[in-house]
Structure 1
Amino acid sequence: MGKRKLLDSDSSQSKIQKLSMFGFTSNSGSDHSTPAFQTSPTVPSPKPSTPKRKFNVSWKLNRDWLRYDSKLGMMFCDICISANVRNVFTEGTSIMKKENVVKHEKGKGAYLLIVTIVTLQLYKSPNLLKTWKLSDKMPSPRGSSQLKDLNVDSHTTCESNSSVQEFQQSLSDVILDRLVDRVRGSSVFIVMLDESTDVSVHQNLIVYVRFLEQIGSRVVPSVDFLGIRQLSVANAEAISSELIGLLKDKGLDLDRLAGVSTDGASVMVGCKSGVVTRLREMYPGILATHCIAHRLALACGEAADKVTYLVKFQAVLNDLYKYFERCPKNMARLEKVQGILDCSRGTRLKQVSHTRWLSFEGSVQAVVDNYQSVVAVMLEESSAKALALHKPISCYKFLYVAHFLADALKPLAVLSRSYQRSDLDFTEVNCLLHSTVKVLDNLISNPGGNLSAFLQHVPSEPTLDESGLYTFEFQGHIVRDSLVQRSEAVRACSTFIEGVKASLQSRFTDRGDALVLSALSRFFDPQTVVDRTPPSEDIDIIANHLSVCKVAKVRDCKDELRNFVEFCRAKVDSNSRVGSSSLDICQVAFRARAMFPIVAAAAERLLTAPVSTADCERGFSRQNLIKTDVRNSQ
């Protein structure tokens, strides 16, 4: 017991000693305090700290990317900062060790640097790609020693999601910077807009840019993808703000914006509050163009909708498509019959889309090529649905219209594809249109290839069969016939052609900005410049537009335009070759820019004006190939 009391006493005294060291005193009346407790105890001195490491200037030798901030006392990597990479060298590191610098140099930061440099070299010289050899982990161009030193250790592969995203972002930045530099080198540029909905039901705005760049000794237009932005609301205000924000983010001068090309939707070209109207309030000299390919499709669709039988004809083609494409059994029967008859030309039945009406040509041609096999499958099945489809396609009227449309829609489809060329300018639009209209006119009096082949198997007049019905045999099948059907078929086809011509006339007339583009096209036409004086109305229209663009005053524009015509004629009189196309005349203006700066500005606006927005449609098609339902669900 005595020993336990002694231990408790020692324990309490040690506690009091600890408390007294921090300035506490005992309030109890017990005599626990001693003179030793009243004296200040001796506090042990701290251990001496190691001296802080300093930045060694020799580390910057052959490392231009390394930067030391003496005020913050931190090291930074300028390359990683410019590449928007997140690591300790972008946030700043105060650990001054050479091994950290060397490790960063061999690691991800240096990899991004070399990938960026190599990408820029490949972008400038695509043939360099042929000299590359792929190693197990990383690409290594022949003759390059930098990429060989990138492997930090056996555990670092740079294959994580974050590394791949950083590599992709680095490559994207190089390509985008190159594109922006090319656009900045052009005096003017034009944007092409379109909006669409992706598989995740998000509305997106896609923007392409058309500008001028010098290739060799010629200045030619180029088109490239600029960006895509998601829209919260697809109205004119949201689209305008997103477009302006995108152009400013890319560092493009909006004062050089010369025009906007759209698909003609009301939200784009609305006269009160459309996108074009809003942009013109800020930049008055903008030219607005409506996609030629969209106008052609709308004209053909409008003409077809006015013919009652053609509306029914489209419904029959869609029913045929669904009958085979949505039933594997029917499709297998069709392929089997085609193999037996050996009459298939490799064309499958296609669906008719009203929004893409010129794709109708492929649907009609497929029915014409596979008619014998399609009818054979329906007669073999003999179900109610098959017989219901067999009735409307086994008559003279259907076959006549099908073969006629196969001939008439082919030149229209060729015209549509021509209008979707990226290198097409406005000087070729009217020539292609007038030639197509002449071909359509000839089809009324001179049947095309498909219709001529059909009429050779048809009697000149309806004939009665043994049952007392007007029928004839076509490709081994009985077809109903009558004088009424023949007259209605001819009337439907002629009405469609006249409707197409009238619709094209109304949609392709020169109104608004189309007047300016037509005047520019005629002015730079070689025949107009060399053989005859351009109409004074064209010079007035061009001069007024250039004055709105603040290029020069109206009087100065008119004088220089006339002087340029005389300059071209003088070159022809001196046996100098001016050119055979409008592009050649524009090159003359560019080469003589010091003498004719106003004419050069007019030529720039003609060449940058896009004919169609087909590039935007191709961009959305590529987006849908990348952003699929499977990837969207991940």
Structure 2
Amino acid sequence: MSKKRSQFCKGVNSCTGGLHSTKKNTAEVKVQEECFKKAELAAICILRNVYFAAKEMIPNSSTEALNELCILQGLTDLGGLHSDKLDSYDNSIEEFQQAIAEVTDEGILKKARSSNCFSILIDESEDCFMEPYLFMYLQIIEHVAGGYEPKTYFLAVKKLQEEVTAKKITAELVNVLKEKDLDMKQMCGFAIDGTALTDECKNSVVTQLKAQVPGLLSIHCISHRLALSIVSAADTVPYLVKYQQTLNSVYKHCVGVPRDGLEAMQKVLRDTYKQSSPFKDILPSRWLIVRASVEAVIRNFGKLVSVLQNSQSATGVGLAKTMCTYKFLHCSHFLADILHQLYILCKSYQTSNVDFSIVHPLLKSTVTTINKLSAESTGEMLKNLLAALPANMWDESLSESSFMFQNHRIKAGRQQRSEAESTCRTFLENLTRDLKARFSESKDAATMTAMTAIFDPAHASDSKNRHIQTVTDYLSSLSDDSDKDEFEMSCKQELVSFMNFVESQPGVHALTSSKDVCELALKQKLMFPVVSSLAERYLVLPISTADLVGTFCRQHMLRTKLGNSLTTKSLENLIKISIHGPPIKEFNFIAAYSKWASSRANRAQQQKS
């Protein structure tokens, strides 16, 4: 009995021990869950700080101090993380940025994958350390407020380690599209620009891509074409090359010599000089930047020459002598008039509502205007200069002459006048010829012109009919239909029906732009499926890449001496967050934490194995 009792008691004690053990395990689980919960809250707090720092362009090295400040301010969630773990998180700022960037990317890529087509824009740029990068962008059509809008998103950045070749650029793009799970066959438009890329390299990239993507249309940014035309026209005129160097030397001499009345000019010249050094190496858009410097020199001519003459410097005196000539003054006033007109055109090309239908009309109007200004000397700047000249200025009996201008004696004479007018005339002839060559229609441009004719309500019916065959040939190149003849006939019939449908729209729903007509086609997709597809492709084509300059600004802000250790992936993540990240209240930090935790767990598992 005692034995049984002993055994029974032993059993009771064992059960009691089991209960104690279960309670202990439950308590441990609760403690662990509480720790995990605190760690999760702390990590989300750090994610918020990392996000804030990225949006505000704050260096990664300041995030630790920001975390400590939050703890000192009484943020209990961050306080739940032990100091050793906090240090570990601070050493993994890039991991947090990667998780945030992935969440930001997901929404963009989801839209792109659901789109019928997209365009890719590539721009080559150098950072402050003269290292070349390829910046890639994605353009898609989004349904916004009852309409359709083309939206451009930053996609990726790739550092070019060696010599830039078409094969490497193509390979980088193909890899990025594969990495982002984007179907390359849906790419309908492609634009590539960059100062370090030759025309041969760009054309080779386009050729390689077209071999893989039927129906791909290549576009050269209209703003870049305009800028390159101005550069080409000026660089073939020796005096204008010297003129740029003179402005550069004036800036160098005056930047550290503040004088009353010169502050505005110095600011303009300083902003100009920051683009690059020396002037002859300034970026291809430099002549549109020089415009402001030319106007500043004209406005402050008298005071500037006085500063140079009184500088007790051979360089300053030499610059003053160069500027005190009729040739310099005539070219300055002429350039101010011409560059002002080209600047207006460039700004028009960079507006958000620009489309192919107004590219050539705007160009033609500007060329007509500048030719008229040159032939009649009716530009405001040049007209004011000529009005200030003495009456007998060009007396044929005088081989050399001079006149007073803003209290300074200006060297003049028939030779000065002849050389000045010849310089301006040559520049304008070169500019007109180069613009005509760069804006002439290639095969792709002819296709886009035909698409514009179909969708532009300003085109007459007979003009539209002339372009139907070109559009039909383009659509046929996209089709997998075995019976091409039947498909082409169907396309022509649908195009004609759509054009009649557009003309029948009541006045209350008047269509005033090609974008309006494209939106109508997209809304009537069931009735006009082929035209709707064509409209989407037309809207998504990248006309200009000039609005991508914001990315380069962020790159230069990030790639400073403090940020020179940033990896290419970190640079990409920071640009993506700063550009496309929503307001901090709207960002999904729970999703970012899940990605970060999953990545961390996978890495730990790999280390164990």
User: Is the TM value for this pair above 0.5?
Assistant: yes
**Counterpart Cα distance in 2 of 1:336 and 1:578:** 56
Q: How does 1:610-621 map to 2 (within 5 A)?
A: 610-621=542-553
1:558 to 474, 488, 492: 492
Residue 460 of structure 1 aligns with an amino acid whose one-letter code is A
Say which one has the larger Rg.
1
Partner of 1:491: 422
2:442 to 511, 533, 537: 511
Partner of 1:411: 341
Residue 299 of structure 2 aligns with an amino acid whose one-letter code is D
CA RMSD of aligned residues (A): 3.7
> Residues 266 and 539 from structure 1, CA distance in 2 versus in 1: closer, same or farther, beyond 3 angstroms?
farther
Partner of 2:560: 628
1:179 aligned onto 2:111? no
> Residues 172 and 384 from structure 1, CA distance in 2 versus in 1: closer, same or farther, beyond 3 angstroms?
same
What SS class does the counterpart of residue 485 from structure 1 fall into? helix
Shift in Å, 1:603: 0.9
What SS class does the counterpart of residue 455 from structure 1 fall into? helix
Q: How does 1:84-103 map to 2 (within 5 A)?
A: 97-103=29-35
**Counterpart Cα distance in 2 of 1:489 and 1:524:** 46
Shift in Å, 1:254: 1.7
Partner of 1:279: 209
> Residues 503 and 338 from structure 1, CA distance in 2 versus in 1: closer, same or farther, beyond 3 angstroms?
closer
Partner of 1:74: none
> Residues 535 and 468 from structure 1, CA distance in 2 versus in 1: closer, same or farther, beyond 3 angstroms?
closer
Partner of 1:524: 455
1:309 aligned onto 2:203? no
Q: Is the deviation greater in 157-166 or in 255-264?
A: 157-166
What SS class does the counterpart of residue 428 from structure 2 fall into? helix
**Counterpart Cα distance in 1 of 2:546 and 2:443:** 22
1:604 aligned onto 2:536? yes
Partner of 1:502: 433
Shift in Å, 1:625: 1.1
Q: How does 1:53-452 map to 2 (within 5 A)?
A: 97-108=29-40, 111-112=43-44, 137=70, 151-152=79-80, 155=83, 158=86, 160-162=89-91, 164-233=93-162, 234-263=164-193, 270=200, 274-325=204-255, 328=256, 331-332=257-258, 335-336=259-260, 338=262, 347-348=268-269, 350-351=272-273, 352=279, 353=282, 355-356=284-285, 357-444=287-374, 445-452=376-383
* Cα deviation code 1:452-508 (max 9, x no counterpart): 2222221133279xx996111100111111122223222322232222122111110
* Cα deviation code 1:172-223 (max 9, x no counterpart): 2221111111222321100100223334554321101111000021011111
Tell me which protein shows more helix as a share of its residues: 2
Partner of 2:504: 570
What SS class does the counterpart of residue 562 from structure 2 fall into? helix
> Residues 633 and 563 from structure 1, CA distance in 2 versus in 1: closer, same or farther, beyond 3 angstroms?
closer
Shift in Å, 1:308: 3.1
Question: Are 1:267 and 1:275, in contact at CA under 8 Å, matched by a contact in 2?
Answer: no
Question: Are 2:399 and 2:414, in contact at CA under 8 Å, matched by a contact in 1?
Answer: no
* Cα deviation code 1:349-389 (max 9, x no counterpart): 64443622322212211211221122101222343322222
> Residues 446 and 577 from structure 1, CA distance in 2 versus in 1: closer, same or farther, beyond 3 angstroms?
farther
Question: Are 1:210 and 1:608, in contact at CA under 8 Å, matched by a contact in 2?
Answer: yes
**Counterpart Cα distance in 2 of 1:113 and 1:169:** 16
Residue 369 of structure 1 aligns with an amino acid whose one-letter code is R
> Residues 241 and 556 from structure 1, CA distance in 2 versus in 1: closer, same or farther, beyond 3 angstroms?
same
Partner of 1:584: 516
What SS class does the counterpart of residue 595 from structure 1 fall into? coil
Residue 276 of structure 1 aligns with an amino acid whose one-letter code is V
Q: Is the deviation greater in 206-215 or in 222-231?
A: 222-231
* Cα deviation code 1:528-560 (max 9, x no counterpart): 2xx523444411111111111227632222221
Greater RCO (CA < 8 Å, at least 6 residues apart): 2
Question: Are 1:408 and 1:440, in contact at CA under 8 Å, matched by a contact in 2?
Answer: yes
**Counterpart Cα distance in 2 of 1:468 and 1:526:** 60
* Cα deviation code 1:573-596 (max 9, x no counterpart): xx5524111110011101111011
* Cα deviation code 1:409-428 (max 9, x no counterpart): 01112222332334422222
**Counterpart Cα distance in 1 of 2:228 and 2:543:** 16
**Counterpart Cα distance in 2 of 1:165 and 1:354:** 33
> Residues 385 and 150 from structure 1, CA distance in 2 versus in 1: closer, same or farther, beyond 3 angstroms?
closer
**Counterpart Cα distance in 2 of 1:468 and 1:432:** 43
Question: Are 1:523 and 1:538, in contact at CA under 8 Å, matched by a contact in 2?
Answer: yes
What SS class does the counterpart of residue 274 from structure 1 fall into? helix
Shift in Å, 1:519: 1.0
What SS class does the counterpart of residue 564 from structure 2 fall into? helix
> Residues 264 and 156 from structure 1, CA distance in 2 versus in 1: closer, same or farther, beyond 3 angstroms?
closer
Shift in Å, 1:161: 1.7
Q: State percent identity of aligned pairs.
A: 32
Shift in Å, 1:110: 7.3
* Cα deviation code 1:125-179 (max 9, x no counterpart): xxxxxxxxx9972899xxxxxx976652675894742354443333222211111
Residue 127 of structure 2 aligns with an amino acid whose one-letter code is D
**Counterpart Cα distance in 2 of 1:629 and 1:149:** 34
Residue 245 of structure 2 aligns with an amino acid whose one-letter code is A
Q: Is the deviation greater in 153-162 or in 200-209?
A: 153-162
Residue 162 of structure 1 aligns with an amino acid whose one-letter code is N
Question: Are 1:471 and 1:481, in contact at CA under 8 Å, matched by a contact in 2?
Answer: yes
Shift in Å, 1:226: 1.0
**Counterpart Cα distance in 2 of 1:259 and 1:518:** 14
Partner of 2:598: none
**Counterpart Cα distance in 1 of 2:361 and 2:22:** 72
Partner of 2:6: none
Residue 210 of structure 2 aligns with an amino acid whose one-letter code is R
1:453 aligned onto 2:384? yes
Question: Are 2:128 and 2:559, in contact at CA under 8 Å, matched by a contact in 1?
Answer: yes
Shift in Å, 1:264: 7.1
**Counterpart Cα distance in 1 of 2:519 and 2:497:** 16
Shift in Å, 1:516: 1.0
Partner of 1:595: 527
**Counterpart Cα distance in 1 of 2:356 and 2:22:** 64
Shift in Å, 1:113: 9.8
Question: Are 2:42 and 2:77, in contact at CA under 8 Å, matched by a contact in 1?
Answer: no
> Residues 630 and 113 from structure 1, CA distance in 2 versus in 1: closer, same or farther, beyond 3 angstroms?
closer
Shift in Å, 1:441: 2.0
Question: Are 2:232 and 2:434, in contact at CA under 8 Å, matched by a contact in 1?
Answer: yes
Residue 141 of structure 2 aligns with an amino acid whose one-letter code is L
Question: Are 1:425 and 1:610, in contact at CA under 8 Å, matched by a contact in 2?
Answer: no
**Counterpart Cα distance in 2 of 1:257 and 1:437:** 34
> Residues 304 and 363 from structure 1, CA distance in 2 versus in 1: closer, same or farther, beyond 3 angstroms?
same
**Residue ranges of structure 2 left out of the alignment (5+ in a row):** 1-13, 56-66, 274-278, 482-486, 567-609
**Counterpart Cα distance in 1 of 2:203 and 2:503:** 46
**Counterpart Cα distance in 1 of 2:356 and 2:118:** 16
Residue 498 of structure 2 aligns with an amino acid whose one-letter code is F
**Counterpart Cα distance in 1 of 2:32 and 2:199:** 58
Shift in Å, 1:628: 0.6
> Residues 99 and 295 from structure 1, CA distance in 2 versus in 1: closer, same or farther, beyond 3 angstroms?
same
Question: Are 1:345 and 1:369, in contact at CA under 8 Å, matched by a contact in 2?
Answer: no
Partner of 1:10: none
